[in-house]
């Protein structure tokens, strides 16, 4: 059965049709629900589908728009929420059996902002257990719209699958060590880890307080900009930029790392050449101490995650997947001195990156060294998947992954852009400019339902 073409329109295009009276939020929401019914058996993106509530919200949005009440770009747009984010009166499973019967008393701050923006929340999406690196067998892996035999990546994989397959227009993910940008890279999406603290994470279940971010996954940088405005409750300046004269720095240690596969390196270099052809300057840069980032990231994240789950392991330890419980237990013996060293490293690394931004406008790197594997690799201090990702969690700088090319296996590859803290609009604008230089075809599941 062919998918409705408007399911793959941009948010702005759907909004224009709403306001012209040629399309209704009711029809769009019903089409998203039909798409979920048709595709989610293969992709496993959703834990909870809010069909009745979404249709009621769509009716409200349609009535408001008909009366000239315009809440902004997200008004009447179906979006999804990762299932560790509170929605009043609804359960969160965290893709685990270790927190049975949890029901949120009120909306998370970002959910309240999305509601005020008129977004229609169509469901809650699958994730790695408590966003911590492993799939719980009762919930299963989310699968990739480009090839359902491959993973979407974690931990926000359900959000990526939902957007990539046209089941909604955007979704919320969380990112503590790449958990928005890795799925974005694997699924050919725009995924932004904003500046640390830009999005209020009250009501988002923590993994590591020092490193947690929430942010948007969308099909384009412009859609991610609209979603970021909805999540924060204020306008984001993502206006188009002229690439001519801009200065880009390439993290040579990431581009040349032995774990970077040949297709990813080629796609990255081709994209950098396209920037040069557009009038930009691209040069290699060095960030002192960057080779320690994975070890220090784990020194910060693991003990904080173990503190979050310490009592839960004692009372509901059997509810965790074995691998998740073991990872939590590995965090308990980490010394306080190691954690403090990691925190001091965060400050020093942030200062080093800030100094680089006195010489360049943005920093470039491949998002992930390879295309989507069959399943998520385990977390380790030599984790190639997070090679170029975790440093922005440590420093808090905004970083966005966008697709730049397809590999020979037909899967997308990601290109990461990082900008100064607070310059989220610039990151999104640059991402939009790169999208025009390196357009990507739609994934096979975006062409015909069920294929």
CATH code for the domain in which residue 134 is found: 3.90.1300.10
Q: Which of 179, 185, 306, 367 is catalytic?
A: 179
Check if 185 is active-site. Answer: no
Q: Could you tell me the pTM of the whole model?
A: 0.96
Tokens for 173, please give them: 């993910």
Indicate if 190 and 285 belong to the same structural domain. Answer: no
Within a domain: 54: yes
Residue with tokens 């725009």: 190
With the CA atoms of 439, 444, 445 and 449 taken in that order, what torsion angle do they form, in degrees rounded to the nearest 10? 120
**At which of 201, 224, 240 does a domain end?**
240
Indicate if 236 and 213 belong to the same structural domain. Answer: yes
**At which of 221, 240, 259 does a domain end?**
240
Within a domain: 450: no
Indicate if 182 and 270 belong to the same structural domain. Answer: no
Within a domain: 129: yes
Check if 155 is active-site. Answer: yes
Predicted local distance difference test score (pLDDT) of residue 387: 76
Tokens for 67, please give them: 């009366």
Q: Which of 24, 82, 96, 159 is catalytic?
A: 82
Q: Are 413 and 185 in contact (CB under 8 A)?
A: yes
Q: How many Cβ atoms from other residues are within 10 Å of residue 13's Cβ?
A: 14
Predicted local distance difference test score (pLDDT) of residue 447: 52
Q: Count of domains in the chain?
A: 2
Helix (H, G, I), strand (E, B) or coil at 250: strand
> What domain range includes position 383?
247-294+334-439
Within a domain: 173: yes
Predicted local distance difference test score (pLDDT) of residue 378: 76
Within a domain: 186: yes
Distance CA 273, CA 49 (A): 43
Indicate if 214 and 288 belong to the same structural domain. Answer: no
Q: How many Cβ atoms from other residues are within 10 Å of residue 392's Cβ?
A: 31
Check if 124 is active-site. Answer: no
Among 163, 182, 162, 158, CA closest to 94: 158
Within a domain: 448: no
> If 0-12 CB within 10 Å is exposed, 13-18 middle and 19+ buried, where does residue 336 land?
exposed
Distance CA 214, CA 173 (A): 6
Per residue of the chain (451 residues), what is the pLDDT tens digit?
457 999 999 999 999 999 999 999 999 999 999 999 999 999 999 999 999 999 999 999 999 999 999 999 999 999 999 999 999 999 999 999 999 999 999 999 999 999 999 999 999 999 999 999 799 999 999 999 999 999 999 999 999 999 999 999 999 999 999 999 999 999 999 999 999 999 999 999 999 999 999 999 999 999 999 999 999 999 999 889 999 999 999 998 888 888 999 999 999 999 999 999 999 999 999 999 999 999 999 999 999 999 999 999 999 999 999 999 999 999 999 999 999 999 999 999 999 999 999 999 999 999 999 999 999 887 765 666 677 899 999 999 999 999 999 999 999 999 999 999 999 999 999 999 999 998 887 777 665 433 4
Predicted local distance difference test score (pLDDT) of residue 448: 44
The DSSP 8-state label assigned to residue 141 in this structure reads -
Predicted local distance difference test score (pLDDT) of residue 384: 64
Q: Are 305 and 325 in contact (CB under 8 A)?
A: no
Q: Are 97 and 320 in contact (CB under 8 A)?
A: yes
Strands 78-82 and 120-125: parallel
Distance CA 269, CA 149 (A): 28
Predicted local distance difference test score (pLDDT) of residue 450: 39
Among 194, 159, 123, CA closest to 395: 194
Q: What is the DSSP string of 154-200?
A: SSSHHHHHHHHTTS-SEEEEEESSSTTHHHHHHHT-EEEE-STTSS-
Q: Which of 155, 156, 306, 401 is catalytic?
A: 155
């Amino acid at each position: 059965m062919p998918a409705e073409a408007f399911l793959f329109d941009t948010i702005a295009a759907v909004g224009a049709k709403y306001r012209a009276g040629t399309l209704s939020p009711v029809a769009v929401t019903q089409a998203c629900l039909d798409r979920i019914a048709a595709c989610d058996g293969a992709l496993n993106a959703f834990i909870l589908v809010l069909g009745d509530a979404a249709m009621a919200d769509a009716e409200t949005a349609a009535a408001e728009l008909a009366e000239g009440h315009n809440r902004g770009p997200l008004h009447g747009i179906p979006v999804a929420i990762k299932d560790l984010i509170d929605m009043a009166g609804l359960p969160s499973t965290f893709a685990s059996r270790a927190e049975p019967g949890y029901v949120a008393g009120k909306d998370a701050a970002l959910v309240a902002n999305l509601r005020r923006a008129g977004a229609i929340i169509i469901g809650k999406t699958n994730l790695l257990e408590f966003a911590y690196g492993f799939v719980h067998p009762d919930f299963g892996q989310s699968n990739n719209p480009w090839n359902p035999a491959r993973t979407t990546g974690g931990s926000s994989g359900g959000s990526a699958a939902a957007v990539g397959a046209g089941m909604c227009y955007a979704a919320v993910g969380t990112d503590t060590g790449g958990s928005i940008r890795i799925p974005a890279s694997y699924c050919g999406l725009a995924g932004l880890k904003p500046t640390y603290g830009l999005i209020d994470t009250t009501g988002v279940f923590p993994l590591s307080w020092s490193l947690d971010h929430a942010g948007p996954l969308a099909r384009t940088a412009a859609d991610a900009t609209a979603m970021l405005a909805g999540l924060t409750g204020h306008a984001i300046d993502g206006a188009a930029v002229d690439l001519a004269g801009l200065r880009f720095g390439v993290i040579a240690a990431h581009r040349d790392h032995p774990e970077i596969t040949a297709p990813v390196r080629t796609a990255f270099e081709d994209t950098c050449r396209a920037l040069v052809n557009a009038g930009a300057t691209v040069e290699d840069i060095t960030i002192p101490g960057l080779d320690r980032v994975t070890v220090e990231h784990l020194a910060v994240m693991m003990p904080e995650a173990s503190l979050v789950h310490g009592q839960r392991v004692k009372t509901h330890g059997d509810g965790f997947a074995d691998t998740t419980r073991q990872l939590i237990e590995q965090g308990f013996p980490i010394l306080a001195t190691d954690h403090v060293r990691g925190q001091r490293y965060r400050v020093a690394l942030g200062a080093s990156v800030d100094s680089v931004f006195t010489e360049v406008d943005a920093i470039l790197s491949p998002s992930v060294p390879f295309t989507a594997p069959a399943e998520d690799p385990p977390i380790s201090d030599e984790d190639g998947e997070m090679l170029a990702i975790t440093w922005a969690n440590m420093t808090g700088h905004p970083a966005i992954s966008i697709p730049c090319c397809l590999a020979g296996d037909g899967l997308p590859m990601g290109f990461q852009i990082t900008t100064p803290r607070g310059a989220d609009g610039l990151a999104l604008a640059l991402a939009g400019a790169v999208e025009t230089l390196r357009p990507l075809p739609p994934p096979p599941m975006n062409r015909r339902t069920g294929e």
